[in-house]
Structure 1
Amino acid sequence: MVRHTPFVIRLKDRTVAGSTMQGVELGIDPGSKHTGIAAFSERGGSRIGLYALQLDHRGGQIRDKLASRAALRRGRRSRNLRYRAPRFNNRTRPQGWIAPSLRHRVDGTVSWVSRLSRWAPVTAVHVERVAFDTHLLSAGRPLEGVEYRYGTLHGYEVREYLLAKWGRACAYCGASGVPLNLDHIHPRSRGGSNRISNLCVACVGCNQAKNATPIEEFLTDRPVVLVKILQQSKAPLRDAAAVNATRWALWRALTATGLPVATASGGRTKWNRSRTGAAKSHTLDALHVGALDHVTGWPSMVLVIAATGRGTYARTRADRYGFPRLALPRTKQHHGFQTGDLVRAVVPTGKKAGVHTGRVAVRSTGNFNIRTRHGSVRGISHRHVRLLQRADGYGYTTHPEARNRAAFPPPPEGGGIHAGGN
């Protein structure tokens, strides 16, 4: 056994003569908060899902910590508590620079592609290079004519963008888990355009009730909802912006690994899922990236990998003004363990009796906290803890693969997007 999670074994008695090795391919669905990775085998256009990973990024935490550090430094300088000579502020950034929170998403994805390439014979990579063509969607291109009626793939691009923007819930009543239609916020019969900023998602009941009524009249008794819809309709999709900002950097980094890299769009992925009847999830999206004919099966469980970092160099904690308020231990290991190790604790008796497997947070007292998939268990003695895997900057849990269908039913043959009756 080479590794506990993901479980990896090395075959030592394999004979080379007369032996053949079947390669696997990787599908990647990059996202702002989560990235889905699927390992599959492909034969004649038919894919069989073998393993599914969901990588949870911490780009938001990196952004918040950088903003907090900048605010603390700015505050210390402005309070004139110490003198600091001004620095030359005309520093240039290298070509291809992206923000640290975005670079983390690229580096984390490429790191796991490299790991999987060491553990399995990966022969090719399929990746979504762009989830939505936001420039095209926001350019005011009318959804009419041939593309409006017969542009199946283009319709999927628009629907998927609006589902992500409005949280897969009705913009008027907040209903989720029901079929959703596209609705014009300002009705077309009253001069409303087909721009993406004038579209939202609505359940069948709200869509029919609104019909061609101006939104100001339809939401007269709900002014808070009216203000929210008008503001959200003009706001860009931040997650899509983050993905689009890193798409070229991710493609270049994957190409540098030496593996063949094929690209596709998110609309194509959703179109593939509609044909195979798969549910909406990051890992199933990764399995359906690119050109395919059939998907004959996929794993029932998903390994969720949360980026947690490898600790911090700081030896103090700061107060609200940025000054140190307490000292942290100088050593990371206590009783042979350090925070982030994957452990299993078998507690024989007491209120916490049972088997607890998860990521440990060590304490110098010897009473550790273990974060499992069911929650955090506190105060476990180090005598009951056994090491499974050293900390590598990630936390591991599992959850079942999604089973529910997507919110939008597939469009009828020869039809376009689901539009309201306004």
Structure 2
Amino acid sequence: MSEGANREVHPAVFVLDKRGHPLDPCHPARARRLLAAGRAVVVRHTPFVIRLKDRSVADSTVTGVQVGIDPGSKHTGLAVFTDHGGSRAGRYAIQLGHRGAAIRDKLIARSQYRRRRRGKNLRYRAPRFSNRTKPKGWLAPSLRHRVDTTMSQVARLTRWAPVVAVHVERVSFDTHALSAGRPLEGVEYQQGTLAGYEVREYLLAKWGRVCAYCGKQDVPLNLDHLHPRSRGDSDRISNLTLACIGCNQAKNATPIEEFLNGRPAFLAKILKQAKAPLRDAAAVNATRWALWRALEATGLSVHTASGGRTKWNRSRTGAAKSHTLDALHVGELDSVTAWPPVVLAVTATGRGTYARTRTDRYGFPRLRLPRTKQVKGFATGDLVRAVVPSGKKAGVHSGRVAVRTTGSFNITTRHGTVQGIGHRHIRLLQRADGYGYTIHPETRHRAAFPPGHEGPGLHAGGNW
């Protein structure tokens, strides 16, 4: 990368023409001038979208943007960027937070409620034998949610920006080849420009990006053999772990049984984790394939890549590890010239519940909820701004509101929840759409780590 590369740029503003068709995003300063001159109106607060009054697609030159997607189990990164001959410039970054764990807990609670009712002395209910089978491509609700919410964000981006192509990670790593029990030999991992990156990414995910022996994190890590090759063992994936430089040098060519001779419980834990497959790997990969098929059905130009290539791209550009920067580095590229300094964190919150009661720990109703969702013109989940002139809560508070029939609301901001704000001080910014929005800084560069290291990841050479 050349000097001055990877500069930070302001997040772009999405622009629509007078008929609602997407145009190329513009700089925030230009959007302010258009709004001040009366040539544009605000369509949406977050993400910020404006509509021009005096221009249509036919009167404009639209070059288009591309979207990169880094799917994950808890968070998915999306990056809107422009591409000029393999050189990418990030224009907008979104980190989508899934609620798969909440969906799983809700399903478990529902199952327990039903089991309790069946166990009571209730009216006899004959068993059913319908032999129902799940359709092809079925995913559990907690996994289907990841695909649906990601596709929802992609559909929104295509409405706000002229998306011409999508780049998505279809697989993190080839788990079948990695866990086949054979030594890692062959062109897929040992040769070419991506040599070893699939294996490194797998081990970083499996061992939590920390040293297996001392637990240090945010330090350069080396690949370490539990049983050294010099004593006849191999490079199979179950014989590899992560170690900081100090632990790697202290262990050297010593078998792990001798190195952890005085810690039998910790030794058993390390050996068990080494043999165990990566947690959620199959589920995450199944979700990625379902997402790829859903993207293909949209008719957009879809390009796929692996997590190993994304990591290799980041190592070349010097970018830090984050979901949005991973999304910016998905697929084939030559360089990344810029990215936004802030990220829009979009958290799936749901749209409420049909239940009109809350239950206690035994499943009995303990309180009743109001029949109407709106109070004083506001509903729980709306994006609002409160300007409190005086008192303990004086100041400006922006975030999601939780309404109360008393008219005293709670507002959840990026700094926490502010309780008991009167509805007279609150102004509506955007109606609830099932998501919560906050803004946080993007991860900085890895300048603190010496050249040749992967930052809080793996040493480029090491014991490999």
Instruction: Please tell me the TM-score bracket, short chain as reference.
Output: over 0.9
Instruction: Tell me which of 281, 286, 289 is aligned to 2:327.
Output: 286
2:415 is matched with which residue? 374
Q: Which moved more, 1:224-233 or 1:399-408?
A: 399-408
Report what 2:69 is aligned to.
28
**Cα gap change, 1:80 to 1:185, in 2 (>3 Å):** farther
Q: Which residue of 1 aligns with 2:318?
A: 277
Residue 375 (structure 2) aligns with: 334
CA contact (8 A) 1:307 1:394 kept: yes
Q: What CA distance in whole angstroms lies between the structure 2 residues aligned with 1:289 and 1:97?
A: 27
Q: Which of structures 1 and 2 has the larger relative contact order (alpha carbons within 8 angstroms, sep 6+)?
A: 1
Are positions 1:313 and 2:383 aligned together?
no
| Residue 348 of structure 1, CA deviation | 0.8
Distance 2:418 2:58 in 1: 51
CA deviation string 1:16-72 (max 9, x = no partner): 565311200000011111100000011111111000000011111111211221122
Query: Which letter does structure 1 place at the counterpart of 2:95?
Result: Q
CA distance in 2, matches of 1:347, 1:294: 47
TM-score, length basis structure 1: 0.93
Cα distance change on mapping 1:269 and 1:156 into 2, 3 Å: same
Question: Where does residue 118 of structure 2 map in the other structure?
Answer: 77
Q: Is 1:173–2:210 an aligned residue pair? A: no
What is the CA–CA distance in structure 2 between the aligned matches of 1:142 and 1:400, rounded to whole Å?
42
Matching residue's letter, 1:138: S
1:58 to 89, 99, 102: 99
Deviates more, 1:92-101 or 1:294-303: 92-101
Corresponding position of 1:394: 435
| Equivalent of residue 157 in structure 1, options 176, 191, 198 | 198
2:212–2:270 contact (8 Å) kept in structure 1: yes
| Deviation at residue 189 of structure 1 after TM alignment | 3.1
Aligned twin of 1:5: 46
1:236 is matched with which residue? 277
Q: CA deviation at 1:194?
A: 1.9
Kept in 2: contact 1:211–1:420 (CA 8 A) = no
Distance 1:235 1:405, change over 3 A: farther
TM-score by length of 2: 0.85
Say if 2:389 is the partner of 1:348: yes
Does residue 114 (structure 1) correspond to residue 155 (structure 2)? The answer is yes
Conserved? CA contact 1:338–1:361, under 8 Å:
yes
Deviations 1:308-335 (A, max 9, x none): 0000111122233333332222111111
CA distance in 2, matches of 1:100, 1:148: 34
Moved more, 95-104 or 187-196: 187-196
- What 5-or-longer segments of structure 2 have no aligned partner? 1-41
Between the two proteins, what is the percent identity of the paired residues? Answer: 77
Call closer, same or farther: CA 1:258–1:211 in 2, change over 3 Å. Answer: same
Aligned-partner residue type, residue 48 of structure 1? A
Rounded Cα–Cα distance in structure 1 between residues aligned with 2:51 and 2:187: 55
Letter in 2 for 1:247: R
Question: Is the CA contact (8 Å cut-off) linking 1:27 and 1:127 kept in structure 2?
Answer: yes
Give every structure 1 segment of 4 or more consecutive aligned residues whose post-TM-superposition deviation is greater than 4 Å: 15-18, 144-149, 406-412
Instruction: Mark the CA change 1:329 to 1:145 in structure 2 (over 3 Å): closer, same or farther.
Output: closer
Indicate the residue corresponding to 2:291 in structure 1.
250
Kept after mapping to 2: 8 A contact 1:169/1:177? yes
Looking at structure 2, the residues matched to 234 and 324 of structure 1 have their Cα atoms a distance apart, in angstroms, of 46
CA RMSD, aligned part only?
Answer: 2.2
Match of 1:383 in 2: 424
Q: Which digits, 9 at most, give the CA deviation of each residue in 1:97-153, with x for residues without a partner? A: 111111000011111101000001111111111111111111123234776654441
Report the Cα distance in structure 2 between the residues aligned to 1:71 and 1:53, rounded to whole angstroms.
Answer: 36
CA separation in 1, counterparts of 2:404 and 2:303? 47
Larger mean Cα displacement after TM superposition, 256-265 or 187-196:
187-196
Residue by residue over 1:285-316, the C-alpha shift from the partner in whole angstroms, topping out at 9 and shown as x without a partner, is: 11111111111111110000000000011112
Q: Is the 8 A contact 1:344 1:386 kept in 2?
A: yes
Aligned-partner residue type, residue 277 of structure 2 = P
Measure the CA separation in 2 of the matches of 1:20 and 1:146.
45
Counterpart contact for 1:171–1:202, Cα < 8 Å: yes
Indicate conservation of the 8 Å contact 2:385/2:426, yes or no.
yes
